[in-house]
């Protein structure tokens, strides 16, 4: 039986019970939670372990919910850390409860591939089932991205190359602050780290946004990562191989 994780941004229990009942008529195993909007406590991490055991993530939200920057940030980070384990092909569907359906392209980068369905449409259940059984595009990206949210340790981003090597690494934030960085084996925060020629507080301008970036010249490969501790809730992040050239390829992830 296919398993679905349902995240509900509204705390209307009756509406959620009806929604779950409709989903179960399609033979789906539905579990889920009410969204806790507490970025300081990094509450977005709470359902991660359970979500890794499911086949699809459904988000029930209104049009106003989907415009809320705090909701968008928390959902983006949860999507990142789940996709880091299950792959970028892990399906996400948004069941919009009211308003005109939003354009998926207006969502933050980690949610941009989500299908938007009207929760009031009687056919949404059939569409959701079809999504579950549609072969996904398992094309991998050129980079790895994960995030750790631990109240006692803080909010850490992990980046690295997927199939190549980087001659160093760079990570920048917009509307937030980097306070620490490290390098080490991928998949866990390093206990010790030796940094080669570390750099701090570089200023980058991409379009209309300014980023503050840190960097190291430690070579990164598919088995190693660059870890950056971030204070605050950046509207977007930029990262990639560190280069002393005037131009270099970077990845930009919008989070709000």
Where do the domains of the chain lie?
3-132, 143-254
Confidence bin at 15 (pLDDT 50/70/90): confident
CA distance 72 to 23: 25
Contacts of 248 (CB under 8 A, 6+ apart): 240, 241
- Has residue 243 got a pLDDT over 90? no
CATH architecture, domain defined by 143-254:
Sandwich (2.60)
Query: Candidates 3.30.450.70, 3.30.40.230, 3.40.140.10, 3.40.50.2300; correct CATH number of 3-132?
Result: 3.40.50.2300
Is residue 88 predicted with pLDDT exceeding 90? no
Q: Distance between CA 252 and CA 39 in Å, rounded? A: 22
Can you give the pLDDT at residue 138? 64
Find, among 139, 133, 137, 157, the residue nearest to 251 by Cα: 157
Least reliable range by pLDDT among 70-74, 121-125, 142-146, 239-243: 121-125
Write out the two tokens for 221: 């490969």
Per-residue pLDDT at 18 exceeds 90: no
Q: What mean pLDDT comes out for the span 86-111?
A: 93
**How is 73-103 classified by DSSP, letter by letter?**
HHHHHHHHHHHHHH-TT--EEEEE-SSSPPP
For the chain, the average pLDDT equals 93
122-2-110 Cα angle (round to 5): 80
Handedness of CA 25, 31, 34, 37 (dihedral sign): negative
Euclidean distance between CA atoms 250 and 170, whole angstroms: 9
- Say if residue 7's pLDDT is above 90: yes
Higher pLDDT, 113 or 7: 7
More confident residue, 13 or 71: 71
| pLDDT tens readout for residues 124-143 | 888 888 888 887 766 678 99
| pLDDT, mean of residues 200-215 | 94
């Amino acid at each position: 039986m296919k398993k679905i994780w349902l995240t509900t941004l509204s705390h209307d229990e009756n509406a959620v019970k009806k929604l779950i009942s409709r989903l179960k008529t399609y033979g789906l195993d539905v579990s889920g939670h009410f969204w806790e909007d507490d970025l300081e406590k990094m509450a977005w991490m709470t359902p991660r372990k359970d979500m890794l055991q499911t086949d699809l993530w459904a988000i029930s939200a209104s049009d106003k919910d989907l415009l809320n920057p705090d909701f968008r940030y928390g959902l983006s980070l949860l999507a990142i850390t789940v996709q880091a384990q299950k792959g970028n092909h892990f399906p996400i569907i948004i069941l919009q409860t009211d308003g005109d359906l939003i354009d998926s392209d207006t969502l933050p980068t980690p949610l941009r591939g989500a299908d938007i369905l009207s929760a009031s449409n009687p056919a949404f259940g059939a569409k959701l089932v079809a999504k579950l059984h549609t072969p996904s595009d398992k094309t991998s990206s050129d980079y790895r991205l994960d995030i750790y949210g631990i109240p006692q340790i803080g909010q850490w981003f992990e980046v690295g190359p997927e199939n190549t090597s980087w001659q160093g690494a760079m990570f920048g934030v917009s509307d937030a602050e980097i306070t620490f960085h490290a390098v080490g084996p991928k998949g866990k925060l390093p206990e010790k780290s030796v940094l080669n020629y570390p750099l701090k507080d570089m200023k980058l301008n991409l379009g209309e946004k300014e980023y503050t970036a840190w960097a190291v010249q430690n070579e990164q490969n598919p088995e190693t990562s660059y870890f950056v501790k971030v204070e605050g809730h950046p509207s977007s992040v930029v990262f990639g191989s560190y280069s002393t050239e005037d131009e270099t390829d970077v990845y930009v992830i919008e989070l709000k």
